[in-house]
Amino acid sequence: MNLLYRAVLAFALAFVPLVACAQFDHSHAAWDALVKKHVRPIDGARSSQADYAAFARDREALKAYLAQVSKVGEAEFGRWPKAERMAFLINAYNAWTVELILTKYPDLKSIRDLGNLLFNSPWKKKFFTLFGRESWLDQIEHEMLRKPGAYDEPRVHYAVNCASIGCPMLREEAFVAPRLDAQLEEQARRFLSDRTRNRFDPASGKLLVSEIFKWFKEDWTSGYAGIGNAGPVVSRERYFARYAELLADTPADRKLVAEGRAPIDHLDYDWSLNDLRK
């Protein structure tokens, strides 16, 4: 009997990790429902506004989703496929950013009102738990998503949202592993076609782009291929050449961009809150 008991126990324990993995909902249905309800695409879906007042009314649902995220263990996370891990971290980052805004909403006009960039940065606040440890937004973005060799996906910058108008839009659905590559590419095309943040300027002959391409220049020059099939990114010029039709209006201007001959300059970043304008 003792030997039988041990055999049964060993068999059961062998399946504990599989059960644990199955417990997390990789459709991110709870977050998906929230953003579908409270994020409004604008300007032809090239940007979006978040209805933070409505998020505040649904804050318990947001907290419930974040509680499920916090329950995931590091070992469990490590067993997931790469795309599932990446989607999980992106959604977690975006959901916790909304939660951070709600801690002071409506008494703020920018996420930077929660702390300056040098001291008490909002991205360095330890206000949530991930993998059993106190964590912060910069840790997810820079130490996990952007960690060399982890995902090597520059398009992550189109996915994580800093609650600001200058940032690539907060997506109106959750990121999910089966469609992650397509979702990232759609985010890229949306952002790069927004002429308020990226455009060829015929007057100066320059390609004027968001400051994210300056702040994270190494991500666009490191040969990253990411999870898609577009090939490695080896320079910003060659990257923008892929999207010449989105960045310029005339055939001549598009040719300049497509051939990588347009000098690159950067537009000022708008840190105003991406709040829904009533």
Q: What is the mean pLDDT of the chain?
A: 91
Q: CA–CA distance from 236 to each of 96, 120, 213, 242, 265 (Å)? A: 30, 32, 8, 10, 11
In this predicted structure, the answer to whether residue 135 has a pLDDT above a threshold of 50 is yes
> Would you state the pLDDT for residue 18?
42
CA 224-230-235 angle, 5° bins: 45
| Distance between CA atoms of residues 159 and 154, nearest Å | 10
> Would you state the pLDDT for residue 204?
96
> Would you state the pLDDT for residue 229?
60
Of the given ranges (118-132, 185-199, 220-234), which has the lowest mean pLDDT?
220-234
pLDDT bucket at 5, cuts 50 / 70 / 90? very low
> Would you state the pLDDT for residue 17?
44
Q: What is the mean pLDDT of residues 147-152?
A: 94
Q: What is the mean pLDDT of residues 225-241?
A: 80
pLDDT bucket at 27, cuts 50 / 70 / 90? very high
pLDDT bucket at 9, cuts 50 / 70 / 90? very low
